[in-house]
A and B are shown apart, each in its own frame.
Chain A
Amino acid sequence: MAAKTLTIDGQLVSAEEGQTVLDAARDAGIHIPTLCHLNGIQDIGACRLCLVEITGSPKLLPACVTKVQEGMEVQTSSDRLRRYRRMILELLLAERNHVCSVCVSNGHCELQTLAAEHGIDHVRFEYLSPRLEVDLSHRLFGMDHNRCILCTRCVRACWHVEGAGTKNVAGRGIQSRIISDLNQPWGQSETCTACGKCVAACPTGALFNRGATVAEMQRDRTRLEYIVTAREKSQWIV
């Protein structure tokens, strides 16, 4: 495969053709914040946290779905990008009910970590404080819509890694919800194999093991990448 040479934050980087800007940056040790991206699962560019500036492009581009090109000049952090990222995170926090101190993912949450990284000590937007259910109907897992950021990592893990196709998104815009099968209690799903891949994929406290208490959800998200690599490349890289 042909190699491409580009600069990221002024640093000369060589990447493989077909690689995303995000991958190239990470290989070069440059951190770009992400939320809907998860190694091993196909990217959809939904959360917009990984937006970068590319010289010559009038719009910001999501690094997770933008392929590298020869001579590309990428900026991963500028005042404008930081402002936008901060705003995205604040909007996510304001949209549902995030009470980190009592959340199962406290201390191990990607959203919380990013919020801390971006110095979010308060949210400038009005909280919507919706009243949302917690689905505890599944034998092993729980789903707390209060903590869901609709990144759809669970949906993609369920469809593309496990192949069960249980998880879906229903509704539009602010009414969107993650559902199981035809919007029935998770425990009544006929397709769910109880594999737990969605739980492993979830960046927040939305999906959890039943019985988990505050700060107890620590997940090993690398397992999904391991499975995908093993299947697609017949490589078992632990």
Chain B
Amino acid sequence: MPRQITIDPVTRIEGHAKITIQLDEAGNVDNVRFHVVEFRGFERFCEGRPFAEMPGITARICGICPVSHLLASAKACDRILSVDIPPAAEKLRRMMNLGQIIQSHALSFFHLSAPDFLLGWEQPPERRNLFGLVAAEPELARRGIRLRQFGQEVIETLGGRKIHPAWAVPGGVRNALTPAGRDALKARLPEAKESALMALERFKKVLSTHKQELQVFGNFPSLFLGLVTPNGTWEHYDGHLCVMDSVGNVICDFADPAQYGSIIGEAVETSSYLKSPYYKPLGYPGGMYRVGPLARLNIARQMGTPLADKELSHFKTLGCGAVNASFMYHYARLIEIVACIERLEGMLDDSDLLGTRLRADAGVNSLEGIGVSEAPRGTLFHHYNVDEKGVVRKVNLIIATGQNNLAMNRTVAQIARHYLTGSTISEPMLNRIEAGIRAFDPCLSCSTHADGRIALGVVLLDATGKVLDEANRL
């Protein structure tokens, strides 16, 4: 059971998400820092490799969302080839991303987050998990598990059974959908849709009883960044790069997301080993922005499918121009699941998906390639520089969890301000910090237990930097 361990920041987090809460002289929360593990040394690992290997390599680097890296990487490689990939290949890639969003969101909602708000904070951590949910709401839990499986099945049907499908390649994809695979997926669609809608109804009840969470769990103005189609429809694979302010004004709209460098800066703080991207025109840290489901739904004017559109209009009524409560990430996730299922419904009959022209062939035609797509957790940027032979010389990745870092800091600060009493870290506060972070669904691969709890280390410092209290949840 709980052990006391001290985590030296230099040794990285090693299985912990580490949070430092800094108090001011009056004993109020002054600053909070949430340290996230990032791929370090990753760039070095890719340097010197043929660029064609990048989709496979990056898919291997991150075990949590391999498909997202695979797609963003393949898109960056398409740019190096300077080709338009065959239409069938693009549709198939889109299809895989839809599967990925479904499975990732289902995991986040049902397995990780729902136990918190469906079972209640008072439940001990041992019970506040998927197993607890199965006991309390068996039908919902069962459907959630199957919904995630459905998303995984979409991925496997395209990429094969192996966990990391190096299926998307520069210029296209390796194989198409088979008629048998298509039929199997089609057969599962109705149930998946029913489950997603059921979860939506259930969550709307949660909203009415969780007013405090809505107020306190990361509710603050920020920018939102994401992809969207030119006419403002929800987008996950391509489209414009858009930044919206906290009241719903579009303040930046790039037709070519590859221009990201002119608006996204990356701050590195000495106290942290994490890059914090920010919106350049507003500086650091004022240019804090959020990415992911909440941002995408704020930016999108419509989802493009009937049921999801209906939900989106309800969602929009919950904010003023933009929804600022991070607790609403959960709601946004469910709406996106519905949208993905509806889109799959709409596309599975397309005979292009069974096509044979799947891969454009070309040499190195550009020494730079930037691939941008929407991972379940948010906008993902892959930026490569190669030499004229196609050997990778420089790699820069901007991942969702990094981009949400500033907002996660703010979230933890807000929760700490609300729940911190005196100079000790209480159990209720720890629970809520964990849930507040989880709304962002950060990819803390190294610090998430099998049962979904985040291994947290929280340190409370007074104004002089003296440790007042330390709590570790292993």
A residues sitting closer than 8 Å to B (CB atoms) are 101-102, 104, 131, 133-134, 136-137, 142, 144, 187, 210-216
Contact = CB atoms under 8 A, between A and B. Distances in A.
Given A101-B164, A215-B166, A134 B60 contact: no
A133 to B, nearest CB: 7
A102 B56 CA distance: 6
A213 B390 contact: no
22 contacts: A101-B56, A102-B53, A102-B56, A102-B57, A102-B60, A134-B48, A134-B50, A136-B50, A136-B391, A142-B50, A144-B50, A210-B390, A211-B52, A212-B52, A213-B53, A213-B55, A213-B56, A214-B55, A214-B56, A214-B166, A215-B56, A215-B166
Contacts of B389: 136-137, 187
Contacts of A131: 48
B391 A134 contact: yes
Contacts of A136: 50, 389-391
Nearest to A137: B389
A186 to B, nearest CB: 10
Nearest to A107: B162
The 9 closest A-B pairs by CB, nearest first: A214-B56, A214-B166, A136-B389, A102-B57, A213-B169, A213-B52, A102-B56, A211-B52, A101-B60
Contacts of A102: 53, 56-57, 60
Given A102-B56, A211-B361, A212-B52, 8 more contacts: A101-B56, A101-B60, A137-B389, A210-B390, A211-B52, A213-B56, A214-B53, A216-B174
Contacts of A215: 56, 166
B93 to A, nearest CB: 14
B49 interface: yes
B55 A133 contact: no
B56 A134 contact: no
A134 B166 contact: no
A134 B57 CA distance: 16
Nearest to B386: A136
A104 B53 contact: yes
A188 to B, nearest CB: 12
A137 B389 CA distance: 6
A137 B387 CA distance: 11
Nearest to B362: A211
Interface in B40-86: 48-50, 52-53, 55-57, 60
Interface centre among B48, B56, B57, B361 (most CB of A within 10 A): B56
A102 B45 CA distance: 11
Interface in B249-284: none
A192 to B, nearest CB: 16
B170 interface: yes
Contacts of B57: 102, 214
Interface in B319-364: 361
Interface in B233-253: none
A214 B166 CA distance: 6
Contacts of B174: 216
Contact of B166 (A144, A187, A210, A213): A213
Nearest to A104: B53
Nearest to A101: B60
A136 B48 CA distance: 10
Contacts of A133: 48
A92 B396 CA distance: 32
Contact of A213 (B164, B170, B361, B391): B170
A212 B49 CA distance: 12
A36 B52 CA distance: 28
A101 B56 CA distance: 8
Contacts of A104: 53
A182 B57 CA distance: 33
Contacts of B60: 101-102
B449 to A, nearest CB: 25
Nearest to B56: A214
A215 B159 CA distance: 13
Interface in B132-174: 164, 166, 169-170, 174
B57 to A, nearest CB: 5
A214 B56 CA distance: 6
Contacts of A187: 389
Interface string B359-398: 0010000000000000000000000000001110000000
Nearest to B392: A134
Most buried by B among A101, A104, A136, A213: A213
A212 B48 CA distance: 15
Interface in B99-143: none
A210 B53 CA distance: 10
Contacts of B361: 211
A142 B49 CA distance: 11
Nearest to B169: A213
B49 A134 contact: yes
A112 to B, nearest CB: 15
